Structure 1
Amino acid sequence: HTYVHTYIHSYIHTHIHSYIRTCTHTYVHTYIHSYVHTYIRTYIHTYIHTHIHTYIHTYIHTYIHTYVHAHIRTYIHTNIHTYIHTCIRTYIHTFIHAYIHTYIHSYMHTYI
């Protein structure tokens, strides 16, 4: 009776230990694998998607804003300078030409 009791106790203890270790290991491995696979994929997908979207949006917005601001300012400054220079020169040239033409004509008719 004692032998059987001790043997069964020992057997159950050893095998339950082994069984629990195996089952726990298998369960944990499977569950963690499944969990990691599903949630890490979801997390990475969401996180990367969100961050890439945010950072690209921010970068593009900032960069384009800076670029446009710098280059449009430069462009406008240069071209308005050129435009004003050209228009004023053309206007002065035309005006002086017209003035001289009109008044020389008038002068010649009056005094000559």
Structure 2
Amino acid sequence: MVTYVHTYIQTCMHRCVRACVPTYIHTYIHTYIHTYIHTYIHTYIHTNTHTHTHTHTHTHTHTHTHTHTHTNTHTHTHTHTHTHTYIHTYIHTYLHTYIHTYTHTHTHIHTYIHTYILVLSMPMSTNLLPSV
């Protein structure tokens, strides 16, 4: 009975590792990274481009009434175009960090699963069973 249960657990674990884990990880990577890139970066590019393409026009009029009247009108037009570099740096830094962390976690998961299977596949000692 013990051997049967043990074999059953082991088979299930092996199936799970072979079938579920890779699919799960792939789905996770695809869904998460794609959603992240689409939502966040698209929103970010949109807002950033909108924010940075504003033209500021300041008109200063100073009127001094001491025999002379001076009217100065200054028009400043600032257009910022440092969006691309920033976004590229951001994507590279963030995604690289993310992939790095994820890969490390992935390795840990694999190590954990393998260790767990090894423990399960060890022959069970009858001495460990409580005496009836």
Larger Rg: 1
Give the structure with the larger helix fraction.
1
TMscore range, shorter length: 0.3 to 0.5
Q: TM-score with structure 1 length normalisation?
A: 0.44
Taking structure 2 as the reference length, what is the TM-score of the superposition? 0.39
Structure having greater relative contact order (Cα 8 Å, sep ≥ 6): 2
